[in-house]
Amino acid sequence: MDFIPAKSIISNYKENNEWFGCNYNMNIYKGCCHGCIYCDSRSDCYGIEDFDRVRIKENSINLIEKDLKS
């Protein structure tokens, strides 16, 4: 299990997201090991190297608290 530094955990969508019915998302991980063939996150445009390796964002709980306060 690898840890990576992170600036925040919660992010908001630039536009209103009617498809999912929410304005924010939260992800404490980077990467995914499921390998779904339809996954958009695997796209090279996101620039995630070694996408199949899951990395945990450091200090996730503290960052969530910080994001919720702001």
Q: Domain residue spans in the chain? A: 2-69
Kindly tell me the burial class for residue 10, based on how many C-beta atoms sit within 10 Å of its own C-beta (0-12, 13-18, 19 or more): middle
Summarised one tens digit per residue, pLDDT across range 20-66 is: 778 888 889 988 889 888 888 878 777 788 888 999 999 999 999 99
List of residues 6+ apart from 59 with CB closer than 8 A = 6
Name the nearest CA neighbour of 55 among 24, 33, 25. Answer: 33
Q: 3-state DSSP call for residue 8?
A: coil
Percent of the chain at pLDDT > 70 equals 99
Which residue bears the tokens 């608290």?
A: 65
Percent of the chain at pLDDT > 90 equals 29
